[in-house]
Amino acid sequence: MKKICTLGFGLAIAIASLAQEPVDTAVVRKIKDEGFKRSKLMANLSLLTDVYGPRLTNSPNHKKAADYAKATLESYGLQNVHIDYWGDEFGRGWQLKKFSLQTIEPGNTPLISYPKAWTPGIKGTVTADAVYLEVKTADDLAKYKGKLKDKIVLFSATVAVKPGFVADASRLHDSTLLQMANAGLPEQGRGGFNMNRDAQKLNFLKWDFCMKEGAVAVLEASPASRLEDGTLSVSAATVPYPPETPRDKRVGAQSPSVPKILPQIVVADEHYNRMIRQIQNGVNVKLELTLETEFTPAGPGFNVVGEIPGTDLKDEVVMIGAHLDSWHSGTGATDNAAGSAVMMEAMRIIKTIGTPRRTIRIGLWGGEEQGLIGSRSYVKRILGERLDKTQPYDSIALKPEAKKFSVYFNMDNGTGKYRGVYMQGNENVRPIFRAWLKPFEKMGASTLTLQNTGGTDHLAFDMIGLPGFQFIQDPIEYGNRTHHTNMDVYDKTIEADLKHNAVITAAFAWLAANREGLLPRK
């Protein structure tokens, strides 16, 4: 009897909460009708990936994608659509012009491989012997003295390739969603991890040795052992620094002032391992390499920003967004053309159903892959900044615009459909989001968790205490197949899931823009 009373009391609270947050179900029905029956989402996604992908930050394709997004949003009737340049110079653009890598001894085999971003190129086609740099201590380098000149170096150790007993794709089970819903407040730690200084030093010595010895190029196995069957994880070229070098004295490969570095290529684990076994068996491995790259002039990074102006509360802002930039070995489909296309579609849907009370703004960020640079710059310039970055919510200096900022919603976890919202430890939004999710409960989106998901652009808003949220998404193949890989392509996206996401995003943005007050903060 006691349990029944407790349940009844909890139910009464839930019903009261829903009653306190009205939901315009007629508008939600219109949003569903427009988003599911007349979607433009996949057409935009195809152009962002098949035509303008990949979109490495500041690359020619990134600029073309930004121009396309701007023109498309303007065609939907958005206002003040513009390229929002960052205040600081990001660095050079880069694109791959021509590439091939194959063994010609002991047999002719094309290698599944891809150059790192901002790697320098090589003039013409080079034929060179491969040398496996098997080094476990600094003293081991001595045995390779004089043996690397004009050679292609296999830099990393072999990778254990395991059978794929577990399916790549998955959806969140009910039990997992229940655990997330029952999770408490996230711990406020500083994060990070302890780096092995000796390993860093040895790694630097290896890079420095290869450079001084005159190697032609460096090959590495794909760094994530989860990636098999020819899938590569490829990011920026390594700029080696001694461990004691202060961070403010280091620059990335995109910087015009970067020290000279070697051409760097990632090879599929299976093909990389084979070459090492051949060398260890006394077989000479000879490679043929063509690597032509192009650097474009350095300049500021940029976002794409536009809006649907509100009516009586037009000075107050609701914002949605995703990052437009990507890595370069695939076409940046699930990371994150999918999110950009969803946000563009959400704005199109909203524009067809009416004019919101508050202004609804979209941000398609650049430089997310290099550290949320575009969204952080926007927040700092427009809304405010955290002066003491060692403290989560102390020393925050907010600008006047922040007082009229309601909420930011982000998508950046692949192609999977929304299952709910990460509340970022903000218990105050629970009854509001619970009401907003009610029309989508039968579609599988009903989970609210106090937990946070890191590494996405909502953190730029959250770090200064403004409501910024990421949706919970089904993982599908994101973590073990498409994230930062050569398999991040259009065919790995799921149309039904993305339409689902666009509809929920549009509904959340509309409801936030038309409710009586701004969303509560932590």
**What is the predicted pLDDT for the residue at 187?**
62
CATH 3.40.630.10 occupies which residues in the chain? 20-92+298-426+445-513
**What is the predicted pLDDT for the residue at 476?**
97
Question: Is residue 4 pLDDT above 60, yes or no?
Answer: no
CATH architecture of 94-297: 3-Layer(bba) Sandwich (3.50)
The yes/no answer on whether domain 20-92+298-426+445-513 falls in CATH 3.40.630.10 is: yes
Percentage of the chain exceeding pLDDT 70: 93
Q: Which helix (H) or strand (E) holds 314?
A: strand 313-323
Q: How confident is the model at residue 184 (pLDDT cuts 50, 70, 90)?
A: confident
The residue ranking higher by pLDDT, 389 or 317, is 317
In angstroms, the Cα distances linking 159 to 62, 269, 413 are 33, 6, 27
Secondary structure letter of residue 478 according to DSSP = I
Q: How far apart are CA 4 and CA 8, in angstroms?
A: 6
Taking the complete model, does pTM exceed 0.85, yes or no? yes
CA atoms within 13 Å, Cβ hemisphere of 228: 14
| Burial call 350-361: b when 16+ CB within 10 Å, e when fewer | bbebeebbbbbb
125-148 per-position pLDDT tens digit: 999 999 999 999 999 999 999 999
Sequential DSSP letters for 105-162: ESS-EE--EEEPBT----SSEEEEEEEE---SSGGGGGGGTTS-TT-EEE-SPP----
Question: Is residue 401 pLDDT above 90, yes or no?
Answer: yes
Q: What is the CA radius of gyration of the chain?
A: 25
Q: How confident is the model at residue 226 (pLDDT cuts 50, 70, 90)?
A: low
CATH 3.50.30.30 occupies which residues in the chain? 94-297
Question: Is residue 12 pLDDT above 50, yes or no?
Answer: no
441-482 per-position pLDDT tens digit: 999 999 999 999 889 999 999 999 999 999 999 999 999 899
416-446 per-position pLDDT tens digit: 999 999 999 999 999 999 999 999 999 999 9
Provide the Cα torsion 485, 486, 487, 491; round to 10°. 130
Percentage of the chain exceeding pLDDT 90: 86
Q: How far apart are CA 344 and CA 76, in angstroms?
A: 9
